[in-house]
Amino acid sequence: MYDNVLDKIMKPKSIAVIGASTKEHTIGSDIMKRLQEYNFNGKIYPVNPKGGIIEGLQAYTSVLEIPGEVDLALIVVNAKFVLSTLDQCNEKGIKGICIITAGFKETGKEGAELEKELLNKIRSYGMRCVGPNCLGVVNTHPDIKMDACFAESLPERGNIGFVSQSGALGGGILNILKDLNLGFAQFISIGNQADVNAETAIEYWENDDDVKQILLYMESIQNPQNFRKLATRVTKKKPILALKAGRSAAGASAASSHTGSLAGADKAAAALLHQSGVIREFSLQNLFETAKVFANCPIPKGDRVAIITNSGGPGIMATDAVCEYGMQMAKIKDETKEKLRSFLPSAASVKNPIDMIASAPIEHYKETLKTVVADENVDMIIVIYLPFLGLKDIDVAKAVMEIKEEHPEKPIIGVFMTKNEFFTKLSDMNVNVPFFMYAEQAADGLNRLNQQRLWMEKEEGKIPVYDVDREKVKNIILKSINDGRDQLTTLESIDVLRAYGIRACKYGLATNIDEVVTLGNSIGYPVVMKMTSKTTSHKTDVGGVVVNIRSEEQLRNEYNALLKRLEEKGLLEGLEGVIIQEMVKGNREMVCGIATDPQYGPMMMFGLGGVFVEVMKDVTFRIAPLTDNDAIDMIKSVKAYKLLEGARGTKPADIEQIKETLLRLSQLVNDFKFIDELDINPLLISEKTGEGIAVDGRIKVRMNEAKEFFGCAAGVCSAV
């Protein structure tokens, strides 16, 4: 009995190749050959309308003729015959399907309709399906030995579960695994991912002990919310590395807000992967270098690195790289130093980096590594080799691997600055240590190990729920909708923020000169005057914001001047009035807000604000809803965090209050999912209290969704 229907695909006891062929260099022929060459442990049933013998096996004219049970059907027939083939598979009781055949949604509208029908059949028949338009599947476990794809090379055995959205890329990778010194446990080419996708594979491999790490090549993430839930859980158990293609600006938002203009599809993907604990790489080279490290190294207990070298220069460069990643150079214990001095020459340095000098024989490599591995102050080790005095690189590598075999508890990475032939020799060996040409590659690998350690040790974040005035926000937005406005006025926007407990300036609305003066006198000078209009959202363009008004007389003059400017520009009719605000003193201006990605949904933004927001672009994004961990991570990840900590005698910002502001905004957009854009710019840091105070606000909604939310009928909306 199978615990999971996917076992029928990935761990089958019998396979029907529907579309098997005797014609050389066809997919139906190559798949038959790969299954046999890799010594599949189960039964293989070729299916071809002509029958006969294919690759020495009896071929059946129909899957219904096969005498035994079939777990997996590999379908390589023409696209127009796939649906009828599925009907026969269902009649036969086959639940595992892998459709290699192309000609579906990748070809256009007709293909998309065909794929829709295909998926309906898959679901109605209780099947699981990989593909269509895919390379196939692989399982290298000795009990399975399945190479059910048509890549040219047979797969190498390893501990990686790999998902590729590109079949050709997956095939290319399978062909170079030996050169990469890597191997797969399982491989799934998801193709059009009509059914099985990356999330399916992540969940399937979550508790599979044969898969120690998961690699993803993705061009899209179908269900970001589900991906986040699954990946967040699985990355606490094993690393997930992702190469997400499509980083160009072509998918960037054309939104009008600061938040929207800085957002984009790739920022959303980056935020999602980060929040899920997924390690993102930006090239295949980096993806497989990191995979090599995880394949051969345990997760360290800390970030203290020791460097062993026979040359000072590379040792210093390695030290620089380690420190730049924020890891520590291990403080070697005095007992360890004494032992090193007992056999190393007097010219050697026993401080970290440990320089054995160029004359170091292989015995010094062995004894030094054994001694350093035993030091409890050391969590990770880099061993550097440069060719001197006839010492052979491969001999040193073997010695390092022997010691690693004896001490598997600590990560060891080799940096061998030698000829390429060395790495070719390694590809024919059973290595247990990752070897690189340059120290920076080793430091990068250790950083990834440490990144995974920190993620696994991190407590699970919580999404707090605050006591807010949701009804007030409903009514504010409802008024805007009934006015036919998708853009809230400044006053409405600030009222929404205050209803959700977000600290904003003391303010009031004035519609005439008497109210203006009364408000200014009650709030106390200096004050800020801001116009609020139903027709003009960018106030600064028309001189609609006046700061540092220090007296009643100045306030009167500025108000009258504003009315005159608006009248001259023909904008007076849309004026609701002016907002008189307290003037908060502070030189640190931050920005926070919400932008909506069409696929990933609402994204939260935080960073350096004011006039610098689109110039410096020191901002970070996270997918909503935020956890408390996400919020604090956002704050600390921007360069401007140094300003918030307090610089040159300034009062440190109230980080907890700023974190709460972000979490309250996240709750707001979760409660009102039709909010499209929201800007608080600036979120001014008070020099008096350190609070982040919303000085200005701007909110835009998606009109159709808002109307649906409020249950609009006959053009009139009422709160639900």
The per-residue DSSP string of 47-78 comes to E-TT-SEETTEE-BSSGGG-SS--SEEEE-S-
Query: Phi-psi category of 656—alpha, beta or left, where left has phi over 0 and alpha has psi -120 to 50?
Result: alpha
652 forms bridges with which residues in the sheet?
none
What gap in Å lies between CA 291 and CA 487, rounded to an integer? 48
Q: What is the pLDDT of residue 587?
A: 85
**Are 278 and 244 in contact, with CB atoms under 8 Å apart?**
no
Say how far residue 446 (Cα) sits from the centre of its chain: 19
The residues of the chain scoring below 70 in pLDDT are 1-3, 247-265, 537-540, 611-614, 713-716, 718-720
Neighbouring CB atoms inside 10 A of 534's CB total: 17
Q: What is the pLDDT of residue 713?
A: 58
**Residue whose tokens read 């009167």:** 556
Q: Which amino acid is at 518?
A: T
12 CB-contact burial (10 Å; exposed 0-12 / middle 13-18 / buried 19+): buried
Nearest to 452 by CA among 570, 334, 332, 291: 291
Q: What is the pLDDT of residue 246?
A: 75
Q: What is the pLDDT of residue 200?
A: 97
> 434-469 pLDDT, tens per residue?
999 999 999 999 999 999 999 999 999 999 999 999
Strand-pair category, 601-608 with 588-597: antiparallel
Q: What is the pLDDT of residue 612?
A: 65
What gap in Å lies between CA 692 and CA 531, rounded to an integer? 22
120 CB-contact burial (10 Å; exposed 0-12 / middle 13-18 / buried 19+): exposed
What are the percentages of helix, strand and coil residues in the chain, rounded to 5?
40, 20, 40
**Residue whose tokens read 């002509």:** 50
Strand-pair category, 601-608 with 619-623: antiparallel
Nearest to 297 by CA among 112, 432, 429: 432
Residue 580 — φ and ψ, nearest 5°? -100, 120
Q: What is the pLDDT of residue 17?
A: 98
Strand-pair category, 53-54 with 43-47: unpaired
Token pair listed for 448? 């990834």
What gap in Å lies between CA 509 and CA 580, rounded to an integer? 6
Q: What is the DSSP letter of 716?
A: B
Q: Which helix (H) or strand (E) holds 509?
A: strand 507-510
Token pair listed for 238? 């094993």
**Are 498 and 508 in contact, with CB atoms under 8 Å apart?**
no
Q: What is the pLDDT of residue 506?
A: 84
Query: Phi-psi category of 136—alpha, beta or left, where left has phi over 0 and alpha has psi -120 to 50?
Result: left
597 forms bridges with which residues in the sheet?
601
> The pTM is what?
0.90
**Are 435 and 416 in contact, with CB atoms under 8 Å apart?**
yes
Q: What is the pLDDT of residue 468?
A: 98
The CA-CA-CA angle for residues 118, 124, 125, to 5°, reads 90
| Radius of gyration of the chain from its Cα atoms, rounded to whole angstroms | 32
Nearest to 292 by CA among 457, 414, 138: 414
CA distances from 611 to 313, 588, 686 (A): 45, 11, 18
Nearest to 35 by CA among 63, 15, 10: 15
Domains observed in the chain: 298-457 (3.40.50.261), 481-582 (3.30.1490.20), 588-709 (3.30.470.20)
